[in-house]
Amino acid sequence: MQVFKTFMKVMKKHLLSSMIYVTVFVTICVAMTMTSSDTNEFEDSQLDISITDLDNSEASRALAEYIGSSHDIVEIEDDKDKILDALYYRRADIILTINEGYSEKLSAGETEGLFSDYRVPGSYSTQFFDSQLNQYISMISAYTAGGMDITEAVAKAAELSANEIEVETLDFSVSNADFDSVIGMFFQYLAYILIIVLISGLCPTLLVMTKSDIRNRMNCSSLSLTSQMTQLIAGTLIVVAALYIILMTVAAVLFKSMLFNEKGLLAMLNGFVYLIFAMLLAFLLSVIAPGKNAINVIAQVISLGMSFLCGVFVPQELLSGTVLSIGKFLPAYWYVRANNMISGTGGETFVMSEYLVCIGIELAFSAAMFCVVLLIAKTKRRAVSVN
């Protein structure tokens, strides 16, 4: 068991960085679970709007109330930098100022210059807001033109705005009450976490164990090559299994029964198949053995690159056709696709045969990876023995 014990000792030293990734991931998942809300019913989009009322009249207060009834009112300091930040990071969609004289102008039938605002130009949200604001102003000016005074017109407008048209939600995907979007997110981000943790944890350990000095020392011992390899593989499998168990325990604590129904189990299977790929990828990197200092940078290139191309961080539905076509050549794409089907993300419907295709492709990637690992390892060993 010397090889196994040494493997574990070396692993322990490299555990800290892997644990940082896992801890951060778990913390973020806990935060997400606590703040999530999930609904399938149609709701009007709510914009974030900041209102400064310079008119401060009954009519302007009624308008602010009208906007507040369908949107979130946010407080943004009247400072150019703060306004710019809020708009850039979409903390606010519109920074609206109700100009002085709003009420009087409206009573006189004037509509120009009632408001001033800051906005992200040309976006859907501003179009939506304009449409609502224009409707409101149009109603009031029509009522005042019809002879009502401003107070009556405002009241009437409020009354009419309460009449909403009927909206039916057609749900083409199956019900997702047993697998909500947060658990879907958990499994989606797993695609990044598994790769980064295994490469940054396992690779440096395997690199140490396959260093020529250590390998030579092991080879001249009485221990057979088979025993050495078995112990090394056993060590790796235990580490990989431990990682999977830790992550699934976290999922079980966070999502409870959602993990143990049919969909949860399918997601776990998907995660497990992807875990095999991630492990083999770590193996591949350690047999290619790039510089030990570069391994962390390579881990980032592979994990981040694959995540962005395959829809881990940016949903697949938002990615362009070209990106998705490239993504299809990477296993993370199929992992995310299967996960999207399970969680119904992006309107995907769950079809068992398609799910199995995804799992099959992931396994095929793993098999290919396994062959490459064997090939390179063998070529390298032969090169060493020739020398």
Least distance from another protein to the Cβ atom of residue 244, Å? 19
Who's near 187: CB < 8 A, 6+ residues apart? 251, 267, 270, 271, 339, 342, 343
Least distance from another protein to the Cβ atom of residue 223, Å? 25
* Binders of another protein in range 141-170 (CB under 8 A): 141-147, 160-161, 163-170
In Å, the largest CA–CA distance within the chain is: 105
Q: Is 210 in the site for another protein (CB under 8 A)?
A: no
Q: Is 322 in the site for another protein (CB under 8 A)?
A: yes
- Which residue among 2, 5, 9, 13 contacts another protein (CB under 8 A)? 13
- Which residue among 4, 33, 52, 128 contacts another protein (CB under 8 A)? 128
What phi, psi does 256 have (nearest 5°)?
Answer: 45, -120
Q: In angstroms, how far is the first alpha carbon of the chain from the final one?
A: 29
The number of residues that bind another protein (CB under 8 A) is 101
Q: Is 230 in the site for another protein (CB under 8 A)?
A: no
* Binders of another protein in range 343-382 (CB under 8 A): 347
Least distance from another protein to the Cβ atom of residue 280, Å? 21
215 closest CA partner among 1, 38, 380: 380
Q: Which helix (H) or strand (E) holds 104?
A: helix 102-107
Least distance from another protein to the Cβ atom of residue 91, Å? 5
93 closest CA partner among 142, 138, 137, 45: 45
Q: Is 111 in the site for another protein (CB under 8 A)?
A: yes
**Separation between Cα atoms, residue 223 and residue 140, nearest integer Å:** 91
Q: Is 213 in the site for another protein (CB under 8 A)?
A: no
In the chain, the amino acid numbered 164 is E
Least distance from another protein to the Cβ atom of residue 369, Å? 20
Q: Which helix (H) or strand (E) holds 96?
A: strand 94-98
Token pair, residue 144, equals 């005042």
Stretch that binds another protein, among 214-222, 230-238, 254-262, 291-299 (CB under 8 A): 291-299
Least distance from another protein to the Cβ atom of residue 131, Å? 5
Q: Is 307 helix (H, G, I), strand (E, B) or coil?
A: helix
Show the binding pattern over residues 75-94: x = contacts another protein (CB under 8 A), - = does not.
Answer: -----xx-xxx-xxxxx---
Q: Which is nearer to another protein, 118 or 272 (CB)?
A: 118
Token pair, residue 269, equals 């299977």
* Binders of another protein in range 182-201 (CB under 8 A): 192, 196, 200-201
Strands 94-98 and 115-119, bridge-based pairing: antiparallel
The angle formed by the CA atoms of residues 105, 111 and 113, to the nearest 5 degrees, is 85
Stretch that binds another protein, among 38-46, 247-255, 334-342, 364-372 (CB under 8 A): 38-46
Q: Which is nearer to another protein, 14 or 381 (CB)?
A: 14
